[in-house]
Amino acid sequence: MLVAIVTLVILVLAFIFSMLGLGGAMLYIPVFHWFGYNFKTVAIPTGLLLNGLTALSAAIYYLRAKMVDVKGSVPLVITSFLGAPLGAYFTKMVPTRTLILLFAIAMIFAGGRMLMTSRTADKEHMMAPGLRYTLMAVGGFFIGFIAGLLGVGGGFLFVPMMIAMGYPTKKAAATSAFVVIFSSFSGFAGHVAEGHFNWPLMIATSIAVIIASQIGAKVMKEKMKARWIKQMFGIVLLAVAIKLLLKIYF
């Protein structure tokens, strides 16, 4: 019964996060934790797997719709892929309370920025290619490391970074979904090496996110406005961050 309830919650979340170009681990992991699953040995590795599957399913739709900047995403893909397993390795060296605190701080930063810029029109021109690729390569490694450490795909940082570089909001979200695939599965591999599994939970929730993310991607392309995406992004991140902070301090 517990797995069925958790799976239903994950289904709804995958629908929302696929619209934002995120894998959803930033909320999948707290959900698993709230339902009593161990934060390090179950919540983080399962969240990373679902993060990758949500992003993969949504990215397939976005690629077909030609919304992904595949060439521009290469620096992010390579460096975040390298950084994620390194971050996963260091997870066991960091106390759970510290991990949750870092997780919440990162979400407050990203969510606040999104809300403050939600009514700002997308930039008309992107940053020069040379500078953009360099910043994406450096930023990708650090984001990948943080993603592996915290058990997230990094999309909550990829999207704001790409928007700051001039990407239109929808293109940033679609490209982020593509990039998150690689950092998520790379980070998940690092946890698999440690033997972290819960097969019934993984199988049930994996099926749920694949179905929900296809629907969410379609809704984002055809129905969503850029400012709605930013506002949803910001509200979700801040709400989860507050919930996590309340849980560890009160």
Q: Say what the pLDDT of residue 153 is.
A: 64
Sign of CA dihedral 218, 70, 229, 101: positive
Residue type, 73: S
Q: What's the Cα-to-Cα distance from 128 to each of 69, 131, 165, 167, 175, rounded to whole Å?
A: 15, 6, 9, 12, 18
Distance CA 211, CA 93 (A): 35
pLDDT 10s digits, 1-16: 889 999 999 999 999 8
Residue 151 has φ and ψ, to the nearest 5°, of 80, 35
Mean pLDDT of 219-236: 82
Distance CA 121, CA 110 (A): 18
pTM, two decimals, is: 0.76
pLDDT 10s digits, 37-76: 988 788 888 888 888 898 899 999 999 999 999 988 999 8
